[in-house]
Amino acid sequence: MTAPAVFDEPRGTLARQLRVVAGVLLLGIAALAPTSARAECARSYTQGELMQDTQSMTAALRALDEAAFRQSGARMEQNLACMRTKLRPQMQASSYRYVGAYHFLNGNFETAAGWFRVALEVEPGFEWDLNELALDHPMRRAFDAERPASAESPTAVVGKELLLPAGSKLLLDGRVLSEPKAALHRPHMLQVLGGDGTVRQVFIIQGNEIPEQFLTSAGAVVADAGGGSDDEYAVQTIKRVRPRAKTPLMISGGAVALGAAGIYGASFATRAKFDSASTSDELAKYRSLTNTLVVVSGVTLAVGVGVEYAAIVLDGSPGLLIRRRF
């Protein structure tokens, strides 16, 4: 089947003919480039660049400038998988329509139909402007022919569930994907949205061919009870969680240690009385009392140090453990 004359104005000028030749050469160079090279993204395709290409294709369509239309269309198709921005539905649908129009112009009618279908899925009420396509234009008819198919329900990936990094989301044609399903017989843009709201990866998929890395067997998804990271790629800040019992134990240990110091201080007074005693009964009384105060202060200090130590090491374990060795 021969491609219809989308740009059917007579090309009577040398300048127009040169533009056509230049466009064909650009397409030939792009077609001969290795697939892997064309798929690689040296940098992001910005929303501003997409809007510029869209405006260029709109102007070229109205001016019947085939070479300019082809050039912008080739650039848009190559870079759509490098889009690192979440697009508004109208912009998403517009990019799909123009990639479809680019393929239609090249005679790839089946591929064009798929892009028209997904464009109508995202923006069902769109109508081409009469300044862009006449009512009887073959591309308008081809576009409108996909309206019934564009409304087909999504098809789920059998026996699979979504498996995503913590905090991330999948956007299918700009909408959050909550189940592994998509409408068939058309391409889709699948974007991986990180926990910080930035687009991390982009895939152009066919139908519901969601990459295996985001799928798991049904029933195999385990809820994250640990409150994991919002973004597995983000730098994590580890904050110290202070145990509730730590502060009371440290205060208690310090108070007991101060009490031990007070008891030991009292032994100086009884020792002074021992030194000034004039009878054997007084000597025995103050000697016993002094020794008792010293012993009690030592025991109290040991208890205070033990409580303080328990408070210090409390961060290292979920609780105080008593271990017994046999």
- Span 230-256, average pLDDT: 60
- Distance, CA of 88 to CA of 96 (rounded, Å): 13
Q: Tokens in use for 26?
A: 């650009």
What residue type is assigned to position 28 of the chain? Answer: G
How many C-beta atoms surround the C-beta of residue 93 within 10 A? 21
Percentage, residues of the chain above pLDDT 90: 50
pLDDT at position 138 is 96
pLDDT > 60? residue 190: yes
- Structural Rg of the chain based on CA atoms: 39
Most confident range, picked from 19-28, 219-228, 246-255, 261-270: 261-270
pLDDT at 177: 96
Q: What pLDDT is recorded for position 158?
A: 95
Q: Which residue has the higher pLDDT, 234 or 163?
A: 163
pLDDT at 173 > cutoff 50: yes
The residues near 290 (Cβ < 8 Å, ≥ 6 apart) are 267, 270, 271, 274
What is the β-pairing status of strands 181-182 and 155-156? Answer: antiparallel
- 277-292: per-residue pLDDT in tens? 778 777 777 778 778 8
Residue 203 to residue 190: CA distance in whole angstroms:
5
The domains of the chain are located at: 14-150, 155-217, 246-316
How many C-beta atoms lie closer than 10 Å to residue 53's C-beta?
22
171 secondary structure, DSSP code: E
114: tokens are 């798929």
What does pTM read for this prediction? Answer: 0.60
Q: In this model, does residue 234 exceed pLDDT 70?
A: no
Question: What b-and-e string marks burial along 205-239, b requiring 16 or more CB atoms within 10 Å of the CB?
Answer: eebbebeeebbbeeeeeeeeeeeeeebeeeeeeee
Average pLDDT over every residue of 34-49: 69
Instruction: Report the percentage of the chain scoring pLDDT > 70.
Output: 71
The residue-averaged pLDDT of 25-41 equals: 42
Query: What gap in Å lies between CA 116 and CA 143, rounded to an integer?
Result: 6
For residue range 104-159, list pLDDT tens digits in order.
Answer: 999 999 999 999 999 999 999 999 999 999 999 999 999 999 999 999 999 999 99
Distance of CA 170 to the CA centre of its chain: 8
CA-closest candidate to residue 312, choices 261, 256, 260, 243 = 243
pLDDT score for 114: 98
Report, as an integer, the average pLDDT of 156-169.
93
What mean pLDDT is predicted for residues 71-100? 95
Q: Stretch 287-314: mean pLDDT, rounded? A: 74
Determine the 3-state secondary structure of 33 from DSSP.
Answer: coil
